[in-house]
Amino acid sequence: MRVVVAVDRSDPTFKLVHAVTRLYTPVELTLVHAIDHGLARYPDKEPIGRGTAPEELRPLLDSGYKFLEQAAKSIPPELNLVVKHVCELGNAARVIVNTAQMEAADLIVTGSRGLSSEEREFTVGSVSDRIASHAPCSTLVVKQVPDQIRRVLVAVNGIDDAAQIQRWLLANPFHDPVETTVLHVVPTLKAYRNDTSLAHHDRFHENLHEDSVRWGQQLVDNVAAKLSAAPAQAPAGGRYRAHGQVSSGDPPEVIVEESARQDLVIMASHGFQSAVRFISGSVAQKVLHRVAVPVLIIG
């Protein structure tokens, strides 16, 4: 597995490397450090490497490479990883995404630092937000690393993203078996949650909700069965002890609440780039900002 780790001076490299090695065994690790020297104001401008940087900016790149060399020393030598260094001037998210494309990465690992408020995150977007939105591969966003990863929440919305996550998990099994909850949330209208008399008189809404719950249960049971039934000789054999769960409510709220009992949340990138997220925020975006455990966005 080729892994790109986005590091800056506020996110210890060891924390990010430790998080990914809890799950997988990377073969090749690329440490990326972006220096935003005002270039983020010009989103169309490509990142600048050492060879093409103006003379007055090269000291910044030299300092960045020294930082990467120090960061690499925090990687446990027993992992026997091939470690590459990339340092460029430019918008951090663009540098990281471009590096992942150039390295044909399977996974990007990045830390997450919130802005001053959740509303500003939804409007402006954090670096981790932008990476997850535009990454050419899956993204692991890490705030804090659990002592152990034993319980995993897989949130699925529909057939497409369920299949996307299922393919990833079967092709990239974790080191150790995990208890896996496959969750589907059926949205409910606030009007009916708050006024029971409306729900009592509107049988159509009641039937629709019941049908949605039945469909969701079939979806999560199917995914859980396929994860649990991976043949013993297959890479994913015996790694997932999975069961399905259907809940009702506001999807981000339910996922965040469930995440308090989990060590890792997994979601798909499907729909993450929808234009509506710039107004109200996508489910994945809201979850990224509010959960404490790592979030793996499958892309």
Domains in the chain: boundaries: 2-142, 151-294
Q: How confident is the model at residue 293 (pLDDT cuts 50, 70, 90)?
A: very high
Give percent of the chain with pLDDT exceeding 70. 78
Q: Which residue has the higher pLDDT, 58 or 241?
A: 241
Q: Residue 276's pLDDT is what? A: 36
How far apart CA 190 and CA 225 sit, in angstroms, is 33
pLDDT digits (tens, 9 = 90+) for 206-224: 778 889 999 999 999 999 9
Hey, do 2-142 and 151-294 end up sharing a CATH topology, with the first three levels equal? yes
- Choose which CATH entry (2.40.30.270, 3.40.50.620, 3.30.530.20, 3.40.190.10) describes domain 2-142: 3.40.50.620
Q: Residue 38's pLDDT is what? A: 60
Averaged pLDDT, 58-77: 86
Task: State how far the alpha carbon of 184 is from the alpha carbons of 154, 181, 250, in Å.
Answer: 9, 10, 11
Most confident range, picked from 54-63, 81-90, 124-133, 229-238: 81-90
Averaged pLDDT, 41-51: 53
pLDDT digits (tens, 9 = 90+) for 256-273: 999 999 999 999 975 444
Q: The tokens 């500003």 sit on which residue?
A: 120
pLDDT digits (tens, 9 = 90+) for 134-156: 899 999 999 888 888 999 999 99
Most confident range, picked from 3-17, 73-87, 254-268: 254-268
What's the mean pLDDT when you consider all of the chain?
81
What's the topology of domain 151-294? Rossmann fold (3.40.50)
